[in-house]
Amino acid sequence: MDKQGNPVMVNVASKSITHRTATAQAIVDLPDEVIDLLQGDEIQTKKGPVLQTAILAGIMGAKKTSDLIPLCHPLGLENCKVTLRFNSSRQLEIQCTAEITGKTGVEMEALTGVSIAALTVYDMCKAFSHDILIKEIKLMAKSGGKRDFNRAK
């Protein structure tokens, strides 16, 4: 906030340029019948293949973070990777890792990436069931800024 109490973007002009990475994770609980469809042959919906579309949506979401979150700096991501896998509890685990060499971190880009990927899975699977739960969207790790962070799974 500025002296008048108005929101302002954080000034990063004097920060050093460093290589920065962040990884975020989302967990999606799906009903067994939807999991069976996803673990078999890729579900083909009218919108396309579910998992591949979610990967593309996650990358696109990460790239658009500054358009979605007020006061986020627009960043030219150098790398963004979204992965989806079923964990031992039969939950869909989505991870997004974003990278940049710059003056500000990419945590919000990684968090936005997993959120948009999870929402895409919901959107594409809701025709099979609305009993889908998106949960545990969290930062897993970040490096390259003032403080590194690493969450134990």
Domain boundary assignment for the chain: 18-144
pLDDT of residue 42: 64
CA dihedral (28, 99, 77, 125) in degrees, to 10, reads -10
Distance, CA of 133 to chain centre: 16
- pLDDT by residue for the chain (153 residues), tens only, comes to 888 999 999 999 989 999 999 999 999 999 998 888 887 666 777 788 899 999 999 999 999 999 999 999 999 999 999 999 999 999 999 999 999 999 999 999 999 999 999 999 999 999 899 999 999 999 999 999 989 999 976
Which CATH architecture describes the domain 18-144?
2-Layer Sandwich (3.30)
pLDDT of residue 36: 84
pLDDT of residue 27: 98
pLDDT of residue 41: 62
Tokens 């358009």 sit at which residue? 67
Closest of 92, 115, 73, 113 to residue 32, by C-alpha? 92
Active site residues: 123
Closest of 26, 93, 84 to residue 55, by C-alpha? 84
Strand partners, 149: 142
pTM: 0.93
pLDDT of residue 153: 63
Q: Is the Cα torsion angle 109, 111, 113, 116 positive or negative in sign?
A: negative
